[in-house]
Amino acid sequence: MDVSDTQTEYVRGLVPEDLLLFSWLQEVALSPSGAALAYTVRRPDAERNGYQTDAYLRDLQTGEEIKLTSGTGAASSLAWSRDGDRLAFTWQSDDQTAVRVVTAGGAPVADYPVSGAAPSELDWSPDGRKLACSRWTPLREAEGRSTYPGVPAPTLRVVTRLRYKQDGAGWVNDRYRQIWILDLATGELHALTDGECDYGGPRWSWSGTRLAFVAVAREQNTPLGQGQILIHDLQTGRTVPMIAGWQGASGSPQWRHDDQVIAFTGHSPAPPVNRSQFHHVWVCDLATGHTRDLSAELDQEVGNYAVADQRAGLVNVTVKWPDGRGRIYFLLTEQGATHLYSASEDGECRLEVWGHCIVFEYSACADGAMAYGMSNPGSPGELYTLRDGVTEQHTDLNPWLSLRKLSPPREYWYTGIDGTPVHAWEIRPLGFQEGRRYPTILQVHCSMFCWDFNLEFQCMAAAGYVVAYFNQRGTTAGYGQAWTKAGSGARSAWGYNEIMLGADDLVQRDYVEESRLGVTGGSCGGYLTNWIVGHTDRFAAAVTQRSISNEISDFGTADIGPESGEVTTGGQRPWTDINAYWRMSPLSAAENIHTPLLILHADEDYRCPLGQAEELFTALRWMGREVELVVFQGESHGLTRGGRPGNRIEHLRRSLGWFHKYLGTRPA
């Protein structure tokens, strides 16, 4: 296929190679006055087998737009100065990393070269003279690590903290994220923090005398391991916790205009919570230490927890308080969608942008105008503004999709455990005909399936499959805190039993061929896939992606293994109750796996380490079962969302090929 030819009139479904045609909206930054809008767009670069990310600036009054970047590189961390006169962002090219500053009209002001790791999370000081940021910083070399004269230098890693490796970042035992300050007058960059924590999210107070930021300890079983806000006094050099004695999490600090109150995201329970505890929007009175949960009545998770394969970054658990006076803005995940909300300081919450859609990025200004990125099943995402009740679309990033045929998802609910309704969708194959039965692929996950665009699902529909997916009990977000926590301590049982009820409902449809069912999923969906094929033979083929097979070994090798394992097993630890971990391990049922299984994994996946795939493959191959292991080199857990384009395409091709081999594609 010639991917450069998008003018053909031939309309077909999507294929894996179409990945190379996509453009994805990334960051959005509305100027303080609301007159200008900056944003970044990410595109595959087939020649480099990588990505190009460019920055753009649009005048919302005239509609004129300019591109702020040129050449090969990546723009990130858009940040407007408090007066709106300048825009800063980080630019990484093949030969230089720099913080670039331009005027509100896009004219160059200066580039500030940076050696070492790139700055991120830029934030301007109120006087416009400095920029705060976070960046990876080498740990100071400890005494006694040098070699002796004539003795060959050792090659080793010294580990003293948990989370010494982090998915997507690699081994981080010798470095931490620190807060740095860039002086725009001199171009000098100096570190503000120097501790064994990962610091991020810096935010200047309106007076410019204090800086709030988030500290995350590497020990996940401590309160600071969940992330907590610290406040640094720039005059005295003293750093104190925002909330003394706080046992929960806190992040994304936003100052009120008088610097007396900070809005933030967080929760109050002590660790470990395994990311099953919902973040809400809070405010803290700094004088009294009193906190209030502004979004408690919503009973939903703040942030974007929608699962799809279009954006490398997920979650976006943030709040934004544009001028520290008006409303506080945030995203909220609910029933397969992510919506944009705002709240007053007294807790009156208001829905701003909603529908069968995913709002994945947002920005706001003092007069209440909002800019946001929004996707839906027919679009990977476009840029919109909302002002005075009027919505305007500003981009058309993927016009070539009009030359492809998509199959829209059909929403339904089935009866789950105890008669509780379970949210579900199906996508029918292209060319669907009544009276014919089709091979069907069940997608499983414990995160939230959603109203986002999904290339994998569309490719499966184009190949001739019915695709179905459910948000069963235990789903990470979208259906209330009790629904999510129902999966803790019984992940396999709740997930499996309710998924099987969904499968029972699915095969009642006269167009589903029960003898040609396939199952697949990634991450916790990979875990569920492994569990399913060990407890039923109703599926003719399975593909497990970036999965977990052994909870015992996962505890000590995954970057979030300890906290995940302890919550999953109901508070147990391998050395106190190894049987609890083994009972929750799909590997314990390996002898019962007769379903042909394709195992797709990445060798630098530290969320679900490669050993999880190897253990399952070895067990099945030793028993002579039909199994194949494909390892993608140099990729992390986020392979299908942000891995090299060539690997993402091949990953999807392998999955489709396996199902074609065992299920076929033709209707009966």
C-alpha dihedral sign at 386, 389, 392, 398: positive
Whether residue 345 contacts residue 328, with contact meaning beta carbons closer than 8 Å, is answered with: yes
Measured distance CA(295)–CA(340) in Å, rounded: 13
Measured distance CA(140)–CA(189) in Å, rounded: 17
Measured distance CA(186)–CA(621) in Å, rounded: 62
> Where does 297-444 show beta strands of DSSP type E?
301-302, 319-320, 328-334, 337-343, 349-353, 358-364, 370-376, 379-387, 390-393, 410-415, 421-427, 438-443
Which residues sit opposite 425 in a β-bridge? 411, 469
**Residue 4 CA to chain centroid, in angstroms?**
30
CA-based nearest residue to 88, from 37, 126, 123, 56? 123
Q: Which two tokens stand for residue 133?
A: 């940021």
Q: What residues contact residue 509 under an 8 Å CB cut-off, 6+ apart?
A: none
pLDDT single digits (tens) 77-120: 999 999 999 999 999 998 899 999 999 999 999 999 999 999 99
Rg (CA), the chain: 25
Whether residue 168 contacts residue 637, with contact meaning beta carbons closer than 8 Å, is answered with: yes
Q: Which two tokens stand for residue 283?
A: 């405010």
- Domain covering 23-115, topology: Lipocalin (2.40.128)
Q: Give the number of residues written for the chain.
A: 668
Measured distance CA(239)–CA(228) in Å, rounded: 13
Phi-psi region of 596 (alpha: psi -120 to 50; beta: other; left: phi over 0): beta
Measured distance CA(212)–CA(328) in Å, rounded: 17
Measured distance CA(402)–CA(184) in Å, rounded: 46
The secondary structure of 520-551 as a DSSP string is EEETHHHHHHHHHHTT----SEEEEES----H
Measured distance CA(74)–CA(303) in Å, rounded: 25
Q: Which two tokens stand for residue 230?
A: 């610290």
Measured distance CA(645)–CA(16) in Å, rounded: 10
Give the chain's residues under pLDDT 70.
1-10, 141-146, 314, 488-494
Which phi and psi angles does 78 have, rounded to 5°? -65, 135
Residue type at position 645:
P
Which residues sit opposite 301 in a β-bridge? 333
Which residues sit opposite 177 in a β-bridge? 136
Whether residue 161 contacts residue 219, with contact meaning beta carbons closer than 8 Å, is answered with: yes
- pLDDT at residue 3, rounded to an integer: 43
Q: Which two tokens stand for residue 476?
A: 């990470």
Measured distance CA(129)–CA(125) in Å, rounded: 6
- pLDDT at residue 142, rounded to an integer: 56
Measured distance CA(204)–CA(104) in Å, rounded: 21
User: What number of other Cβ atoms are within 10 A of residue 183's Cβ?
Assistant: 14
Measured distance CA(149)–CA(127) in Å, rounded: 52
Q: Which two tokens stand for residue 666?
A: 């033709």
Give, rounded to a whole angstrom, the gap between the first and last alpha carbons of the chain.
29
As its CATH architecture, domain 406-550+585-663 has: 3-Layer(aba) Sandwich (3.40)
List the domain boundaries for the chain.
23-115, 406-550+585-663
Q: Tell me which DSSP letter residue 140 carries.
A: P
Which phi and psi angles does 494 have, rounded to 5°? -60, -50
Query: Residue 4 is inside which H or E element, if any?
Result: none
Whether residue 351 contacts residue 341, with contact meaning beta carbons closer than 8 Å, is answered with: yes
Q: Tell me which DSSP letter residue 12 carries.
A: B
- pLDDT at residue 141, rounded to an integer: 65
C-alpha dihedral sign at 568, 569, 571, 575: negative
Whether residue 447 contacts residue 468, with contact meaning beta carbons closer than 8 Å, is answered with: no
Which phi and psi angles does 258 have, rounded to 5°? -95, 5
CA angle, 367 then 242 then 360, to 5°:
45
Measured distance CA(180)–CA(99) in Å, rounded: 13
Phi-psi region of 570 (alpha: psi -120 to 50; beta: other; left: phi over 0): left
Measured distance CA(292)–CA(327) in Å, rounded: 15
3-state secondary structure of 564: helix
Residue type at position 130:
K
Measured distance CA(567)–CA(272) in Å, rounded: 7
pTM of the model: 0.96
Two domains, one topology: 23-115 and 406-550+585-663: no
At how many degrees (to 10) do helices 491-506 and 524-533 cross? 70
Measured distance CA(403)–CA(160) in Å, rounded: 55
